[in-house]
A = this chain, B = another copy of it.
Amino acid sequence: MMKDFIFSNTTKVYFGKDQLQHLSEEMSKFGKKVLLVYGGGSIKRIGLYDRVMEELNKAGMTVFELPGVEPNPHHTTVNKGAAICKKEGIDVVLAVGGGSTIDATKAIAATAKYEGDDCWDIITGKAFVPDNLPIVTVLTLSATGSEMDIGGVISNVELNDKQPMFGPTLRSNVSFLDPTNTFSVNAYQTASGSVDIMAHVFDVAYFSAQEEMDMLTRMQEEVLKTVVKYAPVAIDKPDDYEARANLMWASSWALNGFLFSGISQDAVCHMIEHEVSAFYDITHGHGLAIIIPKWLTYILNESTAPKIKRLGVNVLGVDTSLSDMDGAKAAVAALEILFFETLGLKSRLSDLGIDDKNFALMAKKACGSKGKLEGVTTLTPDDVEKIFRMCL
């Protein structure tokens, strides 16, 4: 039976190709000084930087900048941004980019309200900050769902650590989702982002704990089917508006709270993958693509088989007449074909230059202070290490 739950999502979303014209009016509601946060400069290549600056100028805002946010954003970058906010009296932070940029921006928004100067204190729970600066987002990659959720993930490269950060106010106040801003996303990032969307559905809902609400289970499958249908289209035809729009809205809804109403969110696969990208700085979605099929194979048993088969039948075209066990195996095989043939991702960690030397430590860290990962099948460090070895 589903659990009681609270649903509340206050992000105002402007979706579509002609919506950025509203950025100035939305920004000016928050004040005069903005910190503009972005990544490696792709937003300049596609003309988005100029377009955003034009809106900020129209709003009469003073703009401070934090460029260079890394994929798997570093806590030191967050600290740099927070220091600017404090020194300059920033009113609002504006993320223009993908999940890494938005996650960093959320952490900056919180750390700006922290009397200390290291965001890692907040992320590790040493300090509690109940408030943050307002957050506005212009999304350029369909993947993490950070544009409409209450969390982010920050990496501490000194410690090889990568930790999630959550808070009820750590949500974009306003998000601009223009599918045309993802036309320039290359095949590899489109594929990785698409796997990330699917992984959110798997991790926080579909393969999470036992609770189910029938309508939502089927809506989870619709988000998954959306990705299965449109990720190959977007790779094949990067400027296909329908494909990019469906992927973008799927990204937001995979993780904005609706699909997991009343369901425990375990996020087992994410916890496992975070160790890989913490140690090796690989693309999160690519790590997930390698891990998910092996994880499903590892947890496959008589009790998990029906749901894995259901995924196959309802999302991946598996024949419904197969037995639960054979249907589940066919579902995993179909996922592998999707990830590694259709979407063109590498299938093994060794393909990414990763060997087994850190596996034991990574498995231990993945299981955290509880010493286990609770989920539809609870995993010990030993289990996680075995899954890593299957991925080699």
A-side interface residues toward B, CB under 8 Å?
A: 1-19, 213-216, 218-219, 222-223, 225-226, 229-230, 241-242, 245-246, 249-250, 253, 258, 261-262
Contacts and interface: CB of A to CB of B under 8 A. Distances in A.
Describe A's contact surface by its main secondary structure. Answer: mixed
Contact of A262 (B8, B16, B215): B16
Contacts of A3: 16
B17 A246 contact: no
Given A1-B242, A258-B258, 17 more contacts: A3-B16, A4-B17, A4-B18, A6-B12, A6-B13, A6-B15, A7-B12, A10-B10, A213-B242, A214-B229, A214-B230, A215-B246, A215-B249, A216-B249, A218-B222, A218-B226, A253-B258
Contact of A16 (B4, B8, B18, B223): B4
A179 to B, nearest CB: 10
B16 A246 contact: no
Contacts of A13: 6-8
16 contacts: A1-B241, A1-B242, A4-B19, A5-B16, A8-B13, A213-B246, A213-B249, A214-B230, A214-B242, A214-B246, A215-B223, A215-B226, A215-B246, A215-B250, A219-B219, A219-B222
Q: How many identical chains are in the complex?
A: 2
A226 B214 contact: yes
Contact of A14 (B6, B16, B245): B6
Nearest to A252: B7
Nearest to A2: B245
